[in-house]
Amino acid sequence: MLKCPYIYCLPGGREMQIAIMGFGTIGSGVAELLLKNQKSIVAKSGHNTLDIKYILDIRDFSNHELGKYFTTDFNDILNDASVGIVVECMGGTTPAYEYVSSCLKAGKSVVSSNKELVAAKGYELLELAKENNVNFLFEASVGGGIPIIRPISQCLAANEIGEIAGILNGTTNFILTKMIEDGMAFEDALKLAQDNGYAERDPSADILGHDAARKICILASLCFGKHVYPDAVETEGITNITSEDVAYAKNWGGVIKLIGRAKLNDSGKISATVGPCLIQNHSQLASVDDVFNAILVRGDAIGDVVFYGKGAGKLPTASAVVADVIDCAKHTAKRKAFGWGPAEENYVIDPLLQSTSLYVRAETQDYVTAFNEVNKSFESPVILHREDEPKTEIAFITPVMREKEARAVIEKLPIKVNAVLRVLDY
């Protein structure tokens, strides 16, 4: 076996070999962290060594300082019985699903940072892990370095969770912060997020909300016990947010954030959404800026608890991956009981059936009539204002009511609607 020059080895025997699949931002961060903190990581793992044996990547890394660990052949990992833990940081579902399934079937525990894979195939992979008495862990798939999967499944296990919501995408939060606070152009802010290693390979997954949708699927599956697939999540990104909306939100005493949210209703069904929402400045989520994420969990015993930290980036995410590696190493004899079940048809309901308050920005040729109609149609709406507001524009916030009904009322108003955003009460 190739020995890493930095390997720390305690006297006495139990050895654990690791393979890393994918040497992009996260995979290279995992290797870096495993080597940097080798001594303490090994000490915490319950093993005497924790060695990287292979790094799988199709690109040529022969000149890299870790060049000797690289392979382009997945079978090197699959067929090597000494590899007990495989770290998957490839992204996407193909070939990640096939590789992860094969590893689990071969009796290897798998740690993944791949939210697309977990959101699409989490239930199947957790079942495979159970059948083969190994672990499939994915702390890094949501919230980057923030501990959230383990706290929900362990520390909050005594609670019935009614709702989970959060700022789940570092790239969009970074872009929004730079645009709002520094007046930076969208493209420049995105480029900076990409340079910092926050954005997805295809950043449209960030901007259009798909990345946050995958994360809310994982969180909802964990909180409510049934797998939620991304196509069931109503998803909207940040591309339609305008400076007018930002100004109205500011004058109202709030901010616009991209919020992923899943809520359980009385009949045991859930709604799941990702979209830009207004939240008040006193909300625990309002001051979460830059690449930071925050996730609010509402439990019946704990009340609201918020997890906060760096939601993307090389080492913060590697921190969560390596913690899972240590957990897998500690649970080689006995698998951790962890997972969720399948969902029945129509488990995820239309969010329009839930109650909410809505922010509306619209054009009108006759402000006085529009103002009177808004006040007549809703009980105590809040009329909003902004600096240099044109006389042809009206903006307001509806009372809390069933969203479907609120939208039906809005449609009948003598206005041309330009924006409708949910207003949340966290």
Binding site for ligand HSE (CB under 6 A): 144, 169-171, 198-200, 206, 211, 311-312
Minimum CB distance to ligand HSE smaller for 204 or for 240: 204
Kindly name the residue from 215, 257, 263, 269 that is annotated as catalytic: 215
Nearest distance from residue 401's CB to ligand HSE, in Å? 33
The encoded tokens of residue 397 equal: 């916030």
Peptide bond connecting 381 to the previous residue in cis, omega within 30 degrees of 0: no
The encoded tokens of residue 308 equal: 């906060």
Cβ–Cβ contacts within 10 Å for residue 24, how many?
A: 16
Nearest distance from residue 115's CB to ligand HSE, in Å? 6
Nearest distance from residue 134's CB to ligand HSE, in Å? 24
Could you give the CA distance from residue 340 to residue 342 in angstroms, rounded to a whole number?
7
The DSSP call for residue 303 is E
Q: Can you count the helices (H) and strands (E) in the chain? A: 14, 17
Nearest distance from residue 110's CB to ligand HSE, in Å? 18
The encoded tokens of residue 142 equal: 């949501």
Q: Which residue matches tokens 């961060």?
A: 29
Peptide bond connecting 390 to the previous residue in cis, omega within 30 degrees of 0: no
Catalytic residue check, 215: yes
* 319-353 core/surface letters (b: 16 or more CB in 10 A; e: else): bbbbbbbbbbbebbeebbebbbeebeeebbbebee
Minimum CB distance to ligand HSE smaller for 198 or for 308: 198
The encoded tokens of residue 318 equal: 């590697």
Minimum CB distance to ligand HSE smaller for 139 or for 206: 206
Minimum CB distance to ligand HSE smaller for 206 or for 403: 206
Minimum CB distance to ligand HSE smaller for 115 or for 227: 115
Could you give the CA distance from residue 31 to residue 45 in angstroms, rounded to a whole number?
16
* Residues in a beta bridge with 397: 359, 382
Minimum CB distance to ligand HSE smaller for 204 or for 243: 204
Residue nearest to ligand HSE (CB): 171
3-state secondary structure of 266: coil
Nearest distance from residue 206's CB to ligand HSE, in Å? 5
Could you give the CA distance from residue 219 to residue 119 in angstroms, rounded to a whole number?
9
The DSSP call for residue 151 is I
Nearest distance from residue 325's CB to ligand HSE, in Å? 18
Residue 134: half-sphere exposure toward Cβ, Cα within 13 Å:
22
The residues that are catalytic are 215
